[in-house]
Amino acid sequence: MGNCKFALDDELERIVKAITCDEIASFRPEITQTRLAPHLRKMSVTFRLSEEVRQDDWQLQIEPAFAPTFHWAPHLTPTDEHIIDQHSFRSPALIAQNDRKLLIVIPDLDMMSQGTRVRWYLDNDASRNLLKLGMSEYEVREHVLYVRKGGAAYPRGEVQAGFYLMTYEDDPEALANPWRPVLSFLWDRWGAPLFRAGAPLDVPLERFVRHTYRWAFDTWKEAVWQQFELSGQTVGAAAFIVNGTQSPNYPGVVSEREFRSVWNQAWFSSLRSAHGIYRYGLETNDPDMIGRANMTKELALSAPQRDGMFPAVIATEMEQVVIDGKTVNRSKGWETAFWGNSNRNPVKTWQSVRGAPYHIVDMSWTALLMLRWYEELDRDPRLLDYAVRYADALIKLQDEKGYFPAWLDYDTLRPLEILHDSPETALSATMLLKLAELTGEKRYAASAVRAMDVLAREVVPAGRWEDFETYWSCCTYGNQEYVGRKFTRNNMYKQCNFSMFWTAEAFLECYKRSGESRYLRLGERCLDEMLMSQASWQPPYIHVDALGGFGVMNCDGEWNDARQSLFAELIVKYGKELQRQEYIERGLAALKCSFVMMYCPENPKTKEQWEKVYPFFNEPDYGFMMENYGHGGETNDNGLGIGEFTIFDWGNGAAAESYLRMKAHHPELVT
C-alpha cells in the first residue's frame, strides 16, 4: 500500500508531508505534477495496463505536514469501511486546515467528465491525518452512507486518476473561508462555461410556471387542490403530496401515499406557494388565481394560536379500503380535519402529526412569510397582528446565550432540551429583523442580533450545522448518539445545508440593518459552505441536467433538491452585494435547476427517465415533478433515481414561486 511516491519541493513540504499511491496489481504508474499558479498544482497518475486487472480497491493518500484542527468533506465516512462515492461529487473537495495552514484536494473533473474505468471516491480520515482519493465499486448502506464493494475491474489500456492541490500558508483570507478558493476554481473551470452555454435549462422559465399551475388547477385538480370550509371560512391549498397513482392516466386504483394534509412547515409551506399564485394572478389578471392564494392565506390565519404559538399542519383522518381486491389508502374527507405539527421531530418521528411538538422554525418561517405578504402583496393587518403575537411569545423563550429552542412540548409549551442551541435559531432572527423593520420596535432587532452573535461564536467556526432535517427526516443516522458531537474519524458534525441557508440569510439581514462588515463576511462564509453542496459541473453518471442543483447534507444522496428554489434569491443577493458574478450565475443556475425534474417536453432527458418508470405518463401529467433525483445514492440511465411523488409546496409550486419572486425583485436578471 502506498508504495509509489510523488516528489515534493521545499515549498510544498511545508504543507504536505507525503503523497503516495498504490500500484494496480504489479503495474506502476507514471506520476506527473504541474504548478499552474502560486497556490495551485495539478497532479495525476497514469497506469498503462497490458491486460485486464481486477482489484477491489486503489488508493492515493495525502498526509498533511501539520496537525489540522478543522476538516471538511462532502460526505461522512465514519468508519474505515466507508467512502465518499462519486455520487456525492457535487462540488467535490477535501479540506484540512489549522490557524496557519490550509490544504485542499479537488478531484480532476476533466478526467471524470470523460468517463472513468472504475468509480472514484474520496475519504477524510482525520483520525490518521490522511486525505484520500481512491477507486472502487460501492454499495449504499443506511440512508445514505457509501461503503466499498468488491469487483472493480480495470480493462486493458490507460487508467488515470488525478486531482488539483491547493495550498495556503499564513493567508488570512483563505483561512477565514476555505471554501471560497474551491468554489471560484470549480465555477471558473467547469460551471461558468456550462452555464453561459445554456445549462441547466435554455428555455423560458414561464413555460414551466404555466405547466405547474395547469397541472395543479386543471389536469390534476381533483388530486391536488383542496378547498373546504373551516369555522365558516372557505379555505384552500394544494395537498401536501400526490403520487403517480393519482394521475388521470393511471390504469390502476388510486392510493394516497400519506395522510391528506396541508402544511406550513419549513419545507412544505402552502403560504409560500400562495405568494407565487398571487403574483401570477396579478401578472395574468386572473381573479381565480388571486382567489386561490387568498384562500391559502385564510387557512394560515386560521391556525389557532396558544400563547402566540400555532400548529403547522392541518390533516384529515385516513382509512384503508379494499377496491378491486386491492387495499389502498384514502382520506375520510376534510370534515374530519384536525390540527397538528410536523412529524419530522425527535418525539413522534413519522407517527401522526397529532400531538407532535410545536416547531419554532416552522412557526418563524410562517410568520416571516406573513410579514413578506403584508409588505409586498396585501397589507392585511391580520397578518402583522398574528406575527406580532407570535414574536412577543418567541422572544420570551430566548435563552441567556441568545438561542431559541427547537421544539416546544405540545401540552405544556415548554422547550424541549434536544437541539436547544442549534442554527435553527437563525430563521427566527430573520423574522424578528423583518418585524423590527415593519413596526419600528427595537426589541425585536436586539433579540435577533443576540441570536446571530452566539451563532457566530459557537456554530459557524465549528461547522455545527444541525437542524431537524439533519437527524429526523429520511436520514436518521446518528440521531441517538451524535447530536452535538463530531464523528471522530472525520472531525466533522453531521451537517445539513438548510441551517447554513438560514444563517447566511440572517447575517445578510444583520449587515443590512447595522452596516457592520463582519456580518457580511460571516454570511459569505456560511453561503460558501452551503454552495459546496451545489453542483458546479455536469457529471456523466447523472442522467438529468444538474448544474446549479443542490444536495442536502453530508449523509444523503439527493441531486437537484427542491431547496434550490429557496436558495436561489439569497445567492443572487450576495452576488449583488459583493459584486460577484459567480454568485449571480450560481443563483440563476439554482433557479433554472428548480424546474429540471419536471415532466414536460422542455426537459427531454428528464421526460425520458420519467417515462421509463411511468410509461402511462403523457400530456395531462406535464408539470408533475419529484422534489429531487438520486435520493437513494444510486442512478442509472434506465430510470433509477427518479421518484414517485410531487409535493407542490416543495417542488413545482415552490419553484414557480421562486421564479415569480425573482422576477419581481430582480427583473434585470429574470425576464
Q: Domain spans of the chain?
A: 4-176, 347-501
Q: What is the pLDDT of residue 148?
A: 97
Cα four-point dihedral sign 343, 349, 354, 359: negative
Nearest residue to 443 via CA among 407, 405, 401, 398: 398
Whole-prediction pTM:
0.98
Reported as a single tens digit per residue, the pLDDT across 165-193 is 999 999 999 999 999 999 999 999 999 99
How far apart (Å, rounded) are the C-alpha atoms in residues 526 and 579? 17
Cα Rg of the chain, angstroms: 25
AA letter at 244: G
Helices (H), 92-215: 109-113, 172-176, 179-186, 192-196, 206-214
Contact indicator for 441, 397 with CB cutoff of 8 Å: no
Cis amide linkage into residue 346, ω under 30° from 0? no
Confidence of residue 352 (pLDDT cuts 50, 70, 90): confident
- Angle at which helix 652-665 crosses helix 563-578, to 10 degrees, equals 20
Nearest residue to 126 via CA among 145, 103, 99: 103
Compute CA 431 distance to the chain's CA centroid, rounded to the nearest angstrom: 21
Confidence of residue 2 (pLDDT cuts 50, 70, 90): low
How far apart (Å, rounded) are the C-alpha atoms in residues 255 and 87? 32
Confidence of residue 81 (pLDDT cuts 50, 70, 90): very high
Burial group, residue 619, by CB count within 10 angstroms (0-12, 13-18, 19+):
exposed
Confidence of residue 445 (pLDDT cuts 50, 70, 90): very high
Which grid coordinates are listed for 307?
400563547
Which grid coordinates are listed for 195?
452555464
Q: Give me the mean pLDDT over the 32-36 stretch.
A: 96
How far apart (Å, rounded) are the C-alpha atoms in residues 27 and 556? 36
pLDDT higher than 90, residue 349:
no
Looking at the domain that runs over 347-501, which CATH code has it been given?
1.50.10.10
Reported as a single tens digit per residue, the pLDDT across 105-119 is 999 999 999 988 899
Reported as a single tens digit per residue, the pLDDT across 386-439 is 999 999 999 999 999 999 999 999 999 999 999 999 999 999 999 999 999 999
Q: For the stretch 445-484, what's the b/e string if a residue is b when 16 or more beta carbons lie within 10 angstroms of its beta carbon?
A: bebbbbbbbbbbeebbeebbbbbbbbbbbebbbbbeebbe
Q: In 346-461, which ranges are E strands? A: 358-359, 407-408
Contact indicator for 567, 552 with CB cutoff of 8 Å: no
How far apart (Å, rounded) are the C-alpha atoms in residues 235 and 254? 25
Neighbours of 488 (CB within 10 A): 10
Reported as a single tens digit per residue, the pLDDT across 575-618 is 999 999 999 999 999 999 999 999 999 999 999 999 999 999 99
Q: What is the pLDDT of residue 351?
A: 72
The DSSP line for 220-266 is THHHHEEEEEETTEEEEEE-S-EEGGGSTT--S----SS--EEEBSS
Alpha carbons within 13 A on the beta-carbon side of 514: 19
Would you give the DSSP letter of residue 440? Answer: -
